[in-house]
Amino acid sequence: MSHKHLNLLRTIFQDPVNGNIHWREVESLLQNLGASVEPAHGARFRVVLNQVEFFLHQPHHSSTCTKQDIKMLREHLAHAGVSPSAYEEQARQQQ
């Protein structure tokens, strides 16, 4: 995982929730994690990550995700077993 994606993952899991995360960054992170991201109905995207399926909404009027979108993404990632600490440990082992 690149430093860019690891920093984004940290940002997603930090409190207070950051309201300045762009949809394309989230989509890139999910693909880097090995997720399948497919368009569903309307602005919804079907995501399958580590055999966990969930749906995300692409922002309509801006490219920036809302804080509520990031909270939901955080919950979905945690449910799929993704956390910053797991990838930080993996990065340390590779060095």
Mean pLDDT by 10 residues, the chain (95 residues): 89 92 95 94 92 92 91 95 81 68
**CA separation, residue 68 to residues 36, 39, 55, 56, 88 (Å):** 22, 20, 14, 11, 25
User: Distance (Å, rounded) from C-alpha 49 to C-alpha 9?
Assistant: 15
Q: CATH code at 11?
A: 3.30.160
Residue 53's CB is within 10 A of a number of other CB atoms, namely 11
Report whether the peptide linkage leading into residue 16 is cis, meaning its omega lies within 30 degrees of zero. Answer: yes
Q: What pLDDT, on a 0 to 100 scale, did the predictor assign at position 38?
A: 95
Q: What pLDDT, on a 0 to 100 scale, did the predictor assign at position 1?
A: 73
CB neighbour class for 86 (10 Å; exposed up to 12, middle 13-18, buried from 19) = exposed
Residues spanned by the domain of 43: 3-83
Please report whether residue 49 resides in a domain.
yes
The number of domains in the chain is 1
pTM as predicted: 0.87
Q: What pLDDT, on a 0 to 100 scale, did the predictor assign at position 91?
A: 63
Q: What pLDDT, on a 0 to 100 scale, did the predictor assign at position 19?
A: 86
